[in-house]
A and B are shown apart, each in its own frame.
Chain A
Amino acid sequence: DADVTQTPRNRITKTGKRIMLECSQTKGHDRMYWYRQDPGLGLRLIYYSFDVKDINKGEISDGYSVSRQAQAKFSLSLESAIPNQTALYFCATSDSPGQGLNQPQHFGDGTRLSIL
């Protein structure tokens, strides 16, 4: 089983609809992240969370919200989807820095979201 699981893997929906993307992890990591990938732009950070009580905006948070329901779960919502939110969305997790050393992030397999 995958350590970082994203559902759904694919979603097609209409403009104005509310959508929730879910992420769960079995790695026991404290930190979770949501990114989107657009062609030619690499991955960009939407939101991140260091624990259940902690939510932080990333580079492109407008139009999105998140919920950290438990250490293992981090969901991303689009309250009213618009076509330019069509993208590939990735969830990632990481351990907290150990002795000041950064830790790599580990990614799920992504959700391909199309908004018509």
Chain B
Amino acid sequence: DQQVKQNSPSLSVQEGRISILNCDYTNSMFDYFLWYKKYPAEGPTFLISISSIKDKNEDGRFTVFLNKSAKHLSLHIVPSQPGDSAVYFCAASARGGAQKLVFGQGTRLTINP
């Protein structure tokens, strides 16, 4: 049972435009959500996170939105740059202190010049 789902395996966006990556989850116990970015031959790099007490968190060009009623989060990148081309994973963890992350399958983002 996939508790965290990224239904788009790939996304192609023109440079300078907005990139929107989506993620759905099923476990209502999740209260902390993260986005990671991964380049080939490297490990995932932490990008941005959001706690369930918020509905938005912003860091420079990156904004994460959380809709708890829909169990949906999204990552907005604006403006998109060629260096943003990577695989993006969303992840979630539940209350309880173990900080065990459950990952989505990933979305490959390609920024076209």
Give the B-binding residues of A (Cβ under 8 A): 4, 31, 33, 35, 40-45, 48, 56, 58, 90, 92, 94, 97, 101-110
Contact = CB atoms under 8 A, between A and B. Distances in A.
Query: Number of contact residues on B: which range applies?
Result: 20 to 34
A102 B44 contact: no
Please report whether the interface of chain A is mostly helix, strand, loop or mixed according to DSSP.
Answer: strand
Given A90-B44, A104-B49, A45 B100 contact: yes
24 contacts: A40-B9, A40-B105, A42-B4, A42-B103, A42-B104, A42-B105, A43-B103, A44-B103, A45-B100, A45-B101, A45-B102, A48-B98, A58-B100, A90-B43, A94-B99, A102-B49, A102-B51, A104-B34, A105-B99, A105-B101, A107-B36, A107-B45, A109-B41, A109-B43
Given A102-B32, A104-B34, A104-B49, A43 B44 contact: yes
B43 A42 contact: no
Contacts of B113: none
B25 interface: no
B42 interface: yes
Contacts of A106: 46
Interface in B58-113: 89, 91, 93, 97-106
Given A94-B99, A97-B97, A102-B32, A108 B104 contact: no
Interface in B1-28: 4, 6, 9
Contacts of B100: 45, 48, 58
A109 B45 CA distance: 10
A106 to B, nearest CB: 6
Nearest to A45: B100
A102 B54 CA distance: 14
B73 to A, nearest CB: 15
Given A40-B105, A42-B106, A43-B89, A103 B43 contact: no
